[in-house]
Amino acid sequence: MLILTRRPGEAIRIGDKIRIVVVQAEAGKIRIGIEGPRELPILREELYTLIREGNQQANAPADLALEHWLAEGKKEKP
pLDDT for 47-72, tens place per residue?
989 888 888 777 766 666 667 767 77
**Averaged pLDDT of the chain:** 85
pLDDT tens digits for range 1-16: 999 999 999 999 999 9
- Residue-range definition of the domain harbouring residue 20: 1-36
The answer on 32 and 47 residing in a single domain is no
The answer on 50 and 20 residing in a single domain is no
Answer whether 37's CB lies under 8 Å from 17's CB: yes
The answer on 68 and 47 residing in a single domain is yes
CA distance 5 to 21: 12
Percent of the chain with pLDDT over 90: 53
Residue type, 71: A
- Tell me the pTM: 0.64
The answer on 72 and 56 residing in a single domain is yes
Position 64 scores a pLDDT of 65
